[in-house]
A and B are shown apart, each in its own frame.
Chain A
């Protein structure tokens, strides 16, 4: 019985099945678990992917992705689900979640959360991540040639726990004027994310994993996280494991970021570190992000910005979203298309003339996309006419 089968049966039966075949994580069992994943389903030779445009610059970037895919004849159809983040009811996001369950894969723009609304209005993005149990957020920050930054030769992979930690949204006010917010760290999820990190490091041939924590202050919580990482590390002897406190990590990142290889951390530190790294390699317009779960995968920009202030001005940088769509194609095992589009994107980014405002240039989004399409056309495979 696969996890997906278990998920589709009714609640009480689920409980029964889960108790009979409990998921056990640990150094010994983890490396043996994920040996086989079935290929993604194709109907009529084409994949269906859920597309959530989101707010701000989301819709225009989603259109560019569709335009590019149509141009390159990529066998992917998008099922568009619009989520209205201003509505109080959660129907929209539940429809989106259902669509993702149906298709297994999604490409998503960021949904804005108005933080002046009462706590009953939960963050839609967070809801999506926790409901689908997308436990690993992976962001690969690499220095790109042609983008001028203060630091060179950065190549950091950030793996962030995506579902628990500080983002549990459990808050209460027992006494007026005193608010408590709970941060939850569990052994299961920490082992799971640590195992994901080490497995990924092994697959990609990385040699060092650094756990980021604050266990000197939060001795039990982050202490548990660190302990789980150490336990998993013992099962991967070829990979060096070390740990660093989060404030020291940020200091090291701005002075010598080249020392980091793979970093694994709980939710909030992941937020800080991934944004710092994205800033170091050139900004939010360049880095794609991926959220992986047991059965689902959702791709988005790495730093999850809505870009409200530049919406509909044709100045947004489409690189992050387009690279995210390449990650999507890789996930669907359409590697040829993924590599073709990625090569075209990277060759466009090196051209300074076409840099958008966030990179210090004056190019427009449509110019960048046109240039990418031209680059794809020139590499040879059959495409639609420009």
Chain B
């Protein structure tokens, strides 16, 4: 399958998410911590990428320690002002994780 339609799909998905009510921004980060795509400014992106990555690792390892068959599917960090929603990719230490600010 040619990559382009898929890429268009990706764009469409992201646009759909961004258009939802209350979404402030989206950041897509790969395993190495490099932000691939972002709708926020660079400084915040880098900050989020660095901090959240570690949190996800910890959360995932916690879940797996308790039950090795289990795995982390979603992580919400709710704070006074907003909520950070993190969707980690299925494979352990996978290539991509994406998360967005809500």
The finding on whether chains A and B are genuine partners in a shared complex, rather than unrelated, reads: no
Chain B residues proximal to chain A, CB less than 8 Å:
none
Chain A residues proximal to chain B, CB less than 8 Å:
none
